[in-house]
A = this chain, B = another copy of it.
Amino acid sequence: MSKSKQNLKRMFEAKSVAVIGASGDPLRIGGRPVAMIRDMGYEGALYPINPNRDEVQGLKAYPSIADVPGEVDLVICAVPGALVEDMLGQCAAKGVAGVIVFAGGFAEVGGDGVEAQKRLTAIARGADMRMIGPNCMGFANFANSMPASFHPAFARPMPKGNIGLVSQSGAFGGLSSLMAMDRGVGFRHVLTTGNEGDVGVADCLDYLVDDPGTEVILLYIEGVRDGPAFLDALAKARRAKKPVVCVKLGRTEAGAKAAASHTSALAGADAIYDAVFSQFGVHRVNSIEEFFDTGAAISVGGMPKGDSIALVTVSGGVGVLMADDAAARGMTVTELPQSTQKKFKEIVPYAGVNNPLDVTGQIINQPEIFEQAMRLVLDEGDYDAVVGFQGASLNAPENVESGLTMWKSLKTDYPDRTFAVASLISAEGQKRFEAAGIPTFREATHATRAMAAGAYFTRCFTTPFDWKPAAGSDAPLGNGTFTEQSALATLSAAGVPVMPTRSAASAGEAAAAAEELGFPVVMKILSPDIVHKSDVGGVKLNLASKADVEQTFGEMMTAVRAKAPDAKLDGVLLAPMISGGVETIIGVHSDPVFGPAIMFGLGGVFVEVLKDVSFRLAPFDTAEARRMIDEIRGRAILDGVRGAPAADVDALADALASLSQFAAAHRDRLLSVDVNPFVVLPKGQGAMALDAVIELKDD
Contacts and interface: CB of A to CB of B under 8 A. Distances in A.
Interface string A573-616: 00000000000000000000000000000001100111000000
A347 to B, nearest CB: 16
22 contacts: A169-B315, A169-B317, A171-B315, A171-B318, A171-B361, A172-B315, A172-B318, A222-B317, A249-B324, A254-B326, A255-B324, A258-B355, A258-B356, A261-B354, A286-B445, A287-B321, A287-B443, A289-B443, A608-B642, A609-B634, A609-B637, A610-B634
A325 B286 CA distance: 8
Interface residues of A, number: 83
Contacts of A288: 318, 321, 443-445
Contacts of A327: 252-255
A360 to B, nearest CB: 8
Contact of A109 (B316, B325, B350, B395): B350
A122 B221 CA distance: 64
Contact of A175 (B287, B352, B392, B610): B392
Given A249-B320, A327-B252, A315 B608 contact: no
A656 interface: no
Contacts of A172: 315, 317-318
A108 B350 CA distance: 8
A623 to B, nearest CB: 24
A168 interface: yes
A537 interface: no
Interface in A614-664: 633-634, 636-637, 641-642
A179 B257 contact: no
Copies of this chain, count: 2
Contact of A222 (B320, B355, B633): B320
B323 A255 contact: yes
A671 interface: no
Among A323, A444, A605, A641, chain B packs the most CB atoms within 10 A around the CB of: A323
A328 B252 contact: yes
Nearest to A270: B324
8 nearest A-B residue pairs (beta carbon): A169-B317, A255-B324, A171-B315, A254-B327, A252-B327, A254-B333, A262-B316, A249-B320
B255 A395 contact: no
A316 B258 CA distance: 9
B249 A317 contact: yes
A246 interface: no
Interface in A557-571: none
A469 interface: no
Given A108-B350, A169-B316, A317-B167, A175 B424 contact: yes
Contact of A350 (B105, B174, B354): B105
Nearest to A259: B320
Given A153-B392, A175-B392, A258 B320 contact: yes
B424 A324 contact: no
Given A319-B262, A358-B262, A641 B328 contact: no
Interface in A313-362: 314-321, 323-328, 332-333, 335, 349-350, 352-356, 358, 361
A667 B242 CA distance: 58
A324 B608 CA distance: 24
B314 A171 contact: yes
